Amino acid sequence: MLKLPRKPPAATRPATPARPAPRRRTRVLPVLAALFVIGGGLRLASGVGTALAQDPPGASPTRAEDILPLRSSPVSDARLSLELRERETALAEREAQLDERAALLAAAQERVQAQIDALQAAEAELAATMAQADQAAETDIARLVSVFQTMRPEDAANVFTEMDPDFAAGFLARLEPPVAGAILARIEPRQAYALSAIVAGRNALVPRE
């Protein structure tokens, strides 16, 4: 005969675990979502600030000395002052050299001008002396011409025979034609011809109207 299993007594049955009492739901998810949103906003703002702080593409990097105001140090000011003084000293020396050269040039020009004035004065004096000499020579020649005019033809012919042909021809040209003819008539024919040729040649060179 089939026996059915018996149920254990109530005292021996395993006790069913009791279900925990339902807890009250808290707002954890909305708080976390708010924190994530705030954190993302902070990160976005930080990225934008960093991007603004960085230099734009293609621009030269910003240097500290470009941002901070330039301040001169005592060492740089002293060096600049020293360089300025050295340049001023060099310019002063250059100006002094130029002034000295200008003075030397002016003195040289004065000496040259004095020499030119002296030469011009000497030239004028020489010209006056030569004019006086020419005048004296002309006076002497005119006097000799007068002497030959008054001499006898025979005596004058003897003097002309001893003269240089050019000198004698010059006197013959100044004598009156009758006197010159009488003197030539008493001179050797060959010499008389030479004197006549010289006188004719001189007259041929005289410009005519």
Alpha-helix runs per DSSP H in 12-73:
28-53, 64-67
Q: If we measure between CA atoms, which residue out of 202, 165, 207, 203 comes closest to residue 184?
A: 165
* Residue 106, Ramachandran bin (φ over 0: left; ψ between -120 and 50: alpha; else beta): alpha
pLDDT score at 133:
85
Report the distance separating Cα 65 and Cα 166, nearest Å: 105
Per-residue pLDDT of the chain (209 residues; tens, 9 = 90+): 444 445 444 444 444 444 544 444 445 555 555 665 566 555 555 554 454 445 555 545 555 445 444 555 666 778 888 888 889 999 999 999 999 999 999 999 999 999 999 999 999 999 988 888 888 888 888 888 899 899 999 999 999 999 898 988 888 889 999 999 999 999 999 999 998 899 888 766 555 55
